[in-house]
Amino acid sequence: MTSAPPTAETQRAVSYTARIWTLHLWGARPSGLDVALSLAAFALLVVSRFALLPSGPWEWDETLFARGLLRFDLPSHFPHPPGFPLWMALGRLVLPFVPDPLRGFQLLSAVASCLSLFPLTALGRRAAPAPVAATAALAVLFVPGVWLHAGRGFTDTAATFVALWAAALAAWGLEGKRATAFTALVTAAFLVRPILLPPLGLLWLAGALTVRPRRRLLPGVLLGAAATVSAVIGLVVAQGSWKGFASAFATHAATHARNLVEHNPGGVLDLGVVKGFGGPWFTAGAAALTLLGVVVWARRVSRRSAAAWLVILAIISIQLVWFQNRRFPRYAVPLQEAAAPLLAAAASSLAPPAVAAGGLAALGASWLLGTYGPVTEQHRTHLPGWDAVQAAVRVSKQTGEELVIEPGLYPFLSYQEELDRSAGRAWKFAWHLAPASPDSRSLPAGPYVLATEYPFHYFGSLSGREQRFGIVSEALRPLTQGRFLNAIEATDVALPIRGWWLPEAGPRTAEKFMWGGPDAEVLVPPLPPGARLLVDVVPYPGNAPLELLVDGAPALTLAGDSPRAPHEIDARFFHPGRTSHLVFRRAEAYSPGSGDPRKLSVQLWGMRLSKP
């Protein structure tokens, strides 16, 4: 009798189970020690995730999902198309047990991050000794971008967990009912995060090619198709019509494509995957080890599966750079977690198991120590934009003042409004999108409060009442999406309505000014009784006089060659308790030349009150 050929595992003298869901992760003896080590590793993940959950939303996408649970509206991007059906369904399942929808999504993501230890270790064991595989999995789960986003209300972590589970099944063989489970898991990952369709499709194809006979794939394919069709039907029903669903999807796709062309800059050091790995040196090292891991995988497991690894990782990388915002670290979570099994394979080829595991443990400790500060900051503080919205809502609730909101902060405002409405606290104040927004349809008629993440775009509060919210630390900043990090809530701020270019800093000082064209208009907040308005202005040099009109009434005329000076507009031009429209009217505008195509009429340096 001839014995069976030794497996890759027995060749490396490692004894462990091929099961994915097992507490025997480390291959330690006795068995009780292995279980204790596995529980300790899992407990470390649980504490790191659940004890340091973010204090609230740290990006508007999180509030898009959460607001969508309270009132689903795809055309308004609650959530944004294509709807993320399984993620929304999971959120609805946990909603009765959590204080608010965002917390539910955070908990789901944290659970998925903790459970990722098991499929990651199972994948690593396919080409490396158990202690090396488990250490690599644990280390990668503390990569800065992976840990920071583990407790965030995004789909990235959850979809990655399900996809890794499917990949682990494929790596260890799709015999029996595993073929059906494999297809079901790939489908589930797609329904959690549909944008991952290209790498998920390749993963399914790589696994399906190993199944014999092919008819064993049929139950899973039918199940996956039924789940997908049901999800689409559910989204259409929730939206109210097929036309509403399809038009929202098409509009979002066109907008996303345009934003990628116009607003997706950045070199290698700006890439989210580089920032998410902790910097260029960590990234370069991880990339080199990952490529070596593919070679080791080809030698120890199979060339076909190694080729599948390489193609899937390449597709994810292409998506990161060309089809998503390349600067955002959260999009790199699937790529970073998928590197863990290959890091284990590479490390085990370079050193004995104990040394390889020790090196990976040191790498993981370095990531943990470097990321602890940003994760703690995210837990203890709020996103400045979210803080500004909360402060503005509090003021409007207390005073009844109208609220003006920047379009970027609108998702936060809408989420808070739906939270209050669902709790029976309907708002009694009106809110408006800032006039600079192309979607602005109304303006406040009385006293108002402004929440903006662009304080430089406005002159200061006429009454001096504004609240500025802190900028995040330099350690956390690269791991954010770079938005809503500098925000204010203020009252009595004049609002540029039309005809203005963005503010600029003076040539010799940091003093700010704005260029305006003919009929440039500003909304002036209600002035205190008897107060006069001082307008610091200078006409662009030219013959035509500059006329200042308040609600259509001529209030001041300046010669075209007037020097810069503060000019007073009498209190009688302003109605108590009402906003006023200040127009800078000029018959002519002038071109600065030198390739500047603008037609300029007036230079505004600010406004302030002159009290009686």
Measured CA to CA, the distance from residue 371 to residue 596 in angstroms comes to 46
- Average pLDDT in the 483-488 region? 94
pLDDT number for residue 105: 98
Beta carbons within 8 Å of 201's beta carbon, 6+ residues apart: none
Mean pLDDT of 474-502: 95
Give 337-352 pLDDT, tens digit per residue. 999 999 999 999 999 9
CA 135 to chain centre: 29
Q: Would you place residue 3 in the very low, low, confident or very high pLDDT band (cuts 50, 70, 90)?
A: very low
Tell me the sheet residues that pair with 123.
none
Would you kindly state where each structural domain of the chain is located, as residue ranges?
A: 19-260+270-379, 381-492, 494-612
Q: What pLDDT is stored for residue 612 in this prediction? A: 64
- pLDDT at residue 6, as a whole number: 40
Give the model's confidence band at 15: pLDDT under 50 very low, under 70 low, under 90 confident, else very high: very low
Rounded-to-integer distance, Cα 558 and Cα 549, Å: 12
pLDDT per position as a tens digit, 394-427? 999 999 999 999 999 999 999 999 999 999 999 9
Close Cβ partners of 561 (under 8 Å, ≥ 6 residues apart):
539, 541, 542
Report which of residues 604 and 464 the model is more confident about: 604
Give residue for tokens 């009929």.
Answer: 519
Contact 497/522 with Cβ under 8 angstroms? yes
Of the candidate CATH numbers 1.10.1060, 1.20.1070, 1.10.10, 2.60.120, the domain formed by 494-612 belongs to 2.60.120
Q: Which of 535, 518, 519, 601 is nearest to 574 (CA)?
A: 535
pLDDT digits (tens, 9 = 90+) for 126-170: 999 999 999 999 999 999 999 999 999 999 999 999 999 999 999
Task: Select the more confidently predicted residue: 244 or 573.
Answer: 573
Other beta carbons less than 10 A from residue 98's beta carbon: 15
d(CA 390, CA 504): 29
- Provide the pLDDT for residue 17: 59
User: Which residues lie below 8 Å from residue 224, measured CB to CB, with a gap of 6+?
Assistant: 183, 184, 186, 187
* Digit-coded pLDDT (tens) for 44-90: 999 999 999 999 999 999 999 999 999 999 888 899 888 899 999 99
What is the distance between the alpha carbons of residues 271 and 253, in angstroms, rounded to a whole number? Answer: 22
- Cα–Cα dist 251/77, whole Å: 10
